Amino acid sequence: MSGIRGAAAAVLVLAIGLMFTPAPHASAQQRTLTPGQAETLIAPAVVLIETPFAFGSGVVVGPRQIMMNAHVVRPHDQVRVTFSNGDVRTNVVVKAWDLLADMVILELKSDAPVAPLPIVDHSSYPVGTEVYSIGYPGLPDGSHPLTVMNGKITGFRTWPALGIEYVESNIAVMGGMSGGALITATGQLIAFNEWSLNGTSAVNPSAVDVAARLQAELAGQDVDHLGKRFPEAVGAIQNHQSFTLLDSLDEAFFVVPSIFTGTALIELQAPGAAWVGFVWDDGTVLDSAESEEAGMLTLSLEIPALGMPIYVVVAQATDEAGTFVISSTAALSLIADSDDRQVITKSQLVWGQADIPFDRDIFVVPLEKGQRLGVAVDSLLVDQFVAVEFNDGTMELLEWDDDSGGGVWGLNPLLQFTAPVTGDYLLVIGGLLDSSTGGYIANISITAAAGAVSPTFSGTLPTDGIALAVWGGGQIDEVLAAGHLVGCEVSSFWVSESGAMIGYLAGAPAFVNAQVISLYPQQIPPQTPMLVNCGA
């Protein structure tokens, strides 16, 4: 993230050419630009974005449209925009959200004082192409000067779950520059600054790849399957309320409204060992209290006019359900987490989100003895872990994984678990860093037999059409589940055997698929090439 947040992920901004039809920069297209010319002709379309809590960069992509990263804005729905000529726009609203790809669209009330940047397909520019990175780095003196840095394209990588390709460059993304423009030396916008790797290079999402997602969001489609997942309040804002925690995995989250100023005094009546803390949106614990037995916990916090909500987090150490009573001088709202305690009874794709710091999503999975549970989780923003626990009076951790699944960053968790007894198991999906927030996709498979589960294919699968991919290893039904994870509903696939292609038709009787079933009675081995048909 950029600015105050200070993490590696940062502001991400996109251009949607089909929707906004930006006017081309004729002069930029006719010649190679020096850094000075790029600063004069292109840089004014990159703007400084500020909220009460963070700052970053954005790109003008239409007469009134600006694209940027969702995590910098959230939980606000308005920002301050400053153009390089000094023009300042306040209360610029967020028009659409894509919380899985970490994207938002801002809309100005009147036209921007600069022409929008045109975008081009990154695939037209090979490794070694000269590029410029433009944005507003934060300097030690607190200033944010508009900056142009030059370098080259060093490679490409793909996030299969969303079909987004990333352009790698040797220009590190400095805090505050993230979300700015990555342009060619002729002034064409091909990607947006986002991830800095090891302080020496960057991984930037392709403009044309993310354009379709944002265009769909503006058209009213919920492409991330998450809606507008702010931390949402349940019921009335109250100074005094009771709630129940089910076990040691359970948590309660409250929010102190951003308009509150003064001393927030919390008193928590706990039925057993418990912890309560004030937490900022970046995961910083501002004050906390804990006890190893039942009783009253008290903490207070002087809250200035931050314009930023403060969270109150409550957790318990016992594995038995307990009722808590919380009282506060600041009226609190209980935060809804629509992911928690969903019951998963069959193989499916789950779209979820780490809503606030310390959030762990708990799913209930009823399993019979011998049934196998496979879980693969993919995320752009959150380095997650997955775990299976069982409560037979004392919570027992049965399985855990953090990065066996690889993925675009090599950090995806992949878990395989066979139920030792019949019962309700708790599947935990959480961030390894307590400050991590963002959307994720969980591919959950429940099968009767033991075997491997693969999180995805090597190679990009389309949502419709035929593609060649390499299978990561696993049973036939997992081919279908893994395709679903990356947006491909597999209707059929073919493998090569002794020089001949043999096929599998999803949903067909066993005799139709007898050749494939006979060839792979246990599992299809890793690194098996497949011709996969997505869609009807």
Least confident of 272-276, 281-285, 384-388: 281-285
pLDDT for res 308: 78
pLDDT for res 30: 52
Q: For residues 12-33, give the mean pLDDT.
A: 42
Give per-residue pLDDT as tens, 62-96. 999 999 888 778 888 899 999 999 999 999 999 98
Cβ atoms within 10 A of the Cβ of 159, count? Answer: 22
Q: For residues 196-201, give the mean pLDDT.
A: 83
Q: For residues 293-311, give the mean pLDDT.
A: 90
Query: Is pLDDT of 299 > 80?
Result: yes
- 3-state class of 334 per DSSP? strand
Q: What does the alpha-carbon distance between residue 159 and residue 380 come to, in Å, rounded to a whole number?
A: 9
pLDDT band with cut points at 50, 70 and 90 for residue 478: confident
Give per-residue pLDDT as tens, 383-417. 999 999 998 878 899 999 999 888 778 889 999 89
Give all strands (DSSP E) within 7-119, no chain letters: 46-50, 55-60, 65-69, 78-82, 88-98, 103-107
pLDDT for res 262: 92
| Amino acid type, 438 | G
Model pTM score: 0.79
CA distances from 39 to 93, 131, 145, 521 (A): 27, 13, 12, 62
Rg (the chain; Cα; Å): 25
Query: Is pLDDT of 274 > 60?
Result: yes
* DSSP code per residue over 351-403: EEEE-STT-EEEEEEEE-TT-EEEEEEE-SS--EEEEEEEESSSEEEEEEESS
Give per-residue pLDDT as tens, 106-148. 999 999 999 999 889 999 999 999 999 999 998 888 899 999 9
pLDDT band with cut points at 50, 70 and 90 for residue 235: low
Q: Which of 252, 301, 250 is nearest to 280 (CA)?
A: 301
Question: Residue 39: left if φ>0, alpha if ψ -120 to 50, beta else—which one?
Answer: alpha
Q: Which of 255, 213, 258 is nearest to 238 (CA)?
A: 255
Query: Is pLDDT of 18 > 60?
Result: no
What is the average pLDDT score of the chain? 86
Cβ atoms within 10 A of the Cβ of 388, count? Answer: 22
Placement of tokens 């008193």 in the chain: 267
pLDDT for res 400: 96
pLDDT for res 54: 85
pLDDT for res 27: 40
Question: Per mean pLDDT, which of 146-155, 206-215, 406-415, 493-502 is the most reliable?
Answer: 146-155
Please, what's the b/e burial string for 68-94 (b: 16 or more CB within 10 A of its CB; e: otherwise)? bbbbbbbbbbebbbbbbeeeebeebeb
